[in-house]
Amino acid sequence: MYEKTQNILKMAKESNTSVISFICMDYVMARSVVYAAEATNTPAIVMLYPEHVTVQKTTGFANYATMVKELAKEVNVPIGLHADHDFSYNAVMTTIDAGFESVMIDGSMNDLDTNIELTKRVTLKARELGVCVEGEIGHVGTASISDNMNTDFYTKADAAEKFCRETGVDSLAVSIGNAHGEYANTPHLDIKRLQDIHAATDVPLVLHGGSGIPDDQLMVAFSNGINKFNLGTDFLARYYDAVTSFVADYASDSDPVKIINLPEYVQAKLQPYLEERMRTLCRF
Ligand SMILES: [Zn+2]
């Protein structure tokens, strides 16, 4: 069933665990998540990375929101819909207009005051519309250039407290040694910093850059305030592997429309991986 993301985050916070928010670029990925969630009886969030609309053109905003809500109706477990990184007020409003009730405004490339100003403008409007907002403070950079090692980017607890108080965000993405994409070296989350941020704020905290962080570190983070965990790179890599495997398996098949078997084939490969991630990491 479709559930507002905010309610799923509340459930995660109450259970002292984290929901996994999966980047899904299309129906195949989204459906795999929804059915893995159902099979494991674990709430999950299907998340759009806006560039999948604006750059890769794998979907449309309204099309995506409708798709996820329709898929969610097919199952009993709570399924949320969320839009990842938008960087401007107008971009967020486009996302909301398309049917998203959970969005992210990422002003983390700005100085703190500018970030607060931008985020507050978004939350004030979003609140009127019944939409919840994730903000970001500190900066979650790019893993391949080792941004996760740059402590200048890390979230500071006192700034996080001020940010939450002044903007009224519903959830907060933090930078504690995590980064987007594939890590050059095994990351080491700064758990002490996370504990300080958790103590200074009362909103669910969000961990971006989830691919490649060892599970034992994730479990510690989930018991110290991380209630939403974004997983993209690893999932997309599995998708690629499944397509590669399909091409190999069907190479000698002369059926001119064999491609129609691809979505079901890929989902059968992705779903066990997703179920394993949910069973291992989520404690609802
Ligand atoms: Zn992110």
Ligand 1 centroid – CA 90 distance (Å): 19
230 CA to centre of ligand 1 in angstroms:
7
Q: What is the pTM of this model?
A: 0.97
Per-residue pLDDT of the chain (284 residues; tens, 9 = 90+): 999 999 999 999 999 999 999 999 999 999 999 999 999 999 999 999 999 999 999 999 999 999 999 999 999 999 999 999 999 999 999 999 999 999 999 999 999 999 999 999 999 999 999 999 999 999 888 888 888 888 888 999 999 999 999 999 999 999 999 999 999 889 999 999 999 999 999 999 999 998 999 999 999 999 999 999 999 999 999 999 999 999 999 999 999 999 999 999 999 999 999 999 999 999 99
Residue 170: active-site member: no
pLDDT of residue 203: 97
CA 207 to ligand 1 center in whole angstroms:
8
pLDDT, position 230: 97
How far is ligand 1, taken at its centre, from the CA of residue 255, in Å?
Answer: 41
- Cα(253)–Cα(8) distance, integer angstroms: 44
Find the catalytic residue in 84, 147, 170, 196.
Answer: 84
Q: What's the 52 CA to ligand 1 centre distance in angstroms?
A: 14
What is the set of domains in the chain, with CATH numbers? 5-281 (3.20.20.70)
Given this model, what pLDDT does residue 139 score?
A: 87
The pLDDT assigned to 146 comes to 84
CA of residue 199 to ligand 1 center, whole Å: 23
For residue 233, how far is its CA from the centre of ligand 1 (angstroms)? 11
